[in-house]
């Protein structure tokens, strides 16, 4: 009977957490809908959402897939696969191109909240994680509401999740990388160190006290940058690769690499 009582309490606890998280998500969806509606009706961002060349690539590619003619496209999978999958799924509703673009923008903003939520839980415990994620999401949405007049050359970044092109996935992926990195290093309480590609000290906009750390257990690499040159003793160390879009995390734990 005691086991049954504990199980019942666990179920109630799980249901309570699921209900609270659902309410936070519904609130984020409502805010995402409001922001997307505003941007869609603005002169600058509205044009980028529905008529700009970059925003039309995904609808054109998706249509060629549905018609069975997508056999000669030269594209970057990293940049367009996430948006294409979402667009194809929404296309099954039978809505027009602009309606699907609008819904994709709403989902992009909702996805941004989920990324904030995933990142927050790695640093904050309990209900404060949802509050922190919502605070960050609301801040981005408020900034987006000031960016209705921006054109394609502007530096107005908060409204980019509304675009059905690679801007959204790139931004979400960068934020998610931060959360994943924090989760990896959170339990051991190590620190991030900025080095050159030979793991030597790279003193540029950093606290030089960080360089007192003699070993590292993981590396964050960029597919567009040069590879790291590891010390001879570390060349054969096994590692686990964690893909984070444009970035990768090379995890060598429980082993470590001694810096020169």
Task: Provide the pLDDT for residue 27.
Answer: 93
Radius of gyration of the chain (CA): 22
Q: How far apart are the first and last CA of the chain?
A: 61
Task: Provide the pLDDT for residue 2.
Answer: 44
| Tally of CB atoms within 10 A around 93 | 10
CA angle (187 as vertex; 181, 192 as ends), nearest 5: 45
Counting beta carbons within 10 angstroms of the beta carbon of residue 133, is it exposed (0 to 12), middle (13 to 18) or buried (19 or more)? buried
Element (H, E) at 219: strand 218-222
Judge if pTM exceeds 0.85: no
Residue with tokens 């999978």: 77
Q: How far apart are CA 243 and CA 78, in angstroms?
A: 11
Residue with tokens 């995390």: 249
Task: Provide the pLDDT for residue 179.
Answer: 64
CB 215 within 8 A of CB 256: yes
CA angle (169 as vertex; 115, 245 as ends), nearest 5: 90
pLDDT in tens, the chain (260 residues): 444 444 666 677 788 888 888 899 999 999 999 999 999 998 888 888 888 877 888 888 888 888 887 667 776 655 677 788 888 999 989 899 999 999 999 999 999 998 888 878 767 776 788 888 899 899 999 999 998 776 667 778 788 888 877 566 766 766 676 666 666 555 555 567 777 777 777 766 666 676 777 788 888 887 777 778 888 877 778 888 887 767 788 888 888 888 87
Task: Provide the pLDDT for residue 113.
Answer: 92
- How is the chain split into domains, by residue range? 2-184, 208-258
Task: Provide the pLDDT for residue 128.
Answer: 81
Closest CA to 169 of 58, 94, 66: 58
């Amino acid at each position: 009977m005691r086991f049954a009582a504990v199980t019942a309490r666990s179920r109630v606890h799980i249901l309570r957490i699921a209900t609270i998280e659902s309410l936070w998500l519904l609130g984020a969806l409502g805010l995402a809908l409001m922001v997307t509606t505003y941007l869609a009706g603005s002169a600058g961002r509205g044009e980028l959402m529905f008529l700009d060349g970059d925003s039309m690539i995904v609808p054109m590619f998706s249509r060629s897939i549905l018609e069975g003619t997508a056999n000669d496209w030269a594209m970057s999978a990293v940049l367009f696969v996430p948006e294409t999958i979402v667009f194809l799924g929404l296309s099954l509703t039978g809505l027009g191109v602009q309606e699907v673009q609008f819904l994709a923008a709403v989902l992009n903003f909702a996805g941004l909240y989920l990324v904030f939520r995933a990142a927050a839980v790695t640093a904050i415990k309990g209900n404060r994680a949802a509050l922190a994620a919502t605070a960050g999401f609301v801040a981005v949405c408020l900034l987006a509401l000031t960016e209705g007049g921006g054109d394609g050359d502007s530096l107005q970044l908060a409204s980019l999740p509304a675009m059905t092109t690679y801007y959204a996935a790139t931004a979400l992926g960068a934020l998610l990388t931060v959360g994943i990195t924090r989760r990896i290093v959170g339990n051991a309480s190590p620190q991030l160190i900025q080095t050159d590609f030979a793991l030597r000290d790279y003193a540029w906009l950093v606290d030089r006290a960080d360089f007192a750390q003699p070993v590292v257990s993981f590396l964050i690499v960029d597919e567009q940058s040069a590879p790291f040159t590891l010390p001879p003793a570390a060349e054969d160390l096994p590692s686990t690769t964690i893909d984070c879009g444009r970035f990768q995390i090379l995890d060598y734990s429980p082993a470590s690499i001694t810096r020169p």
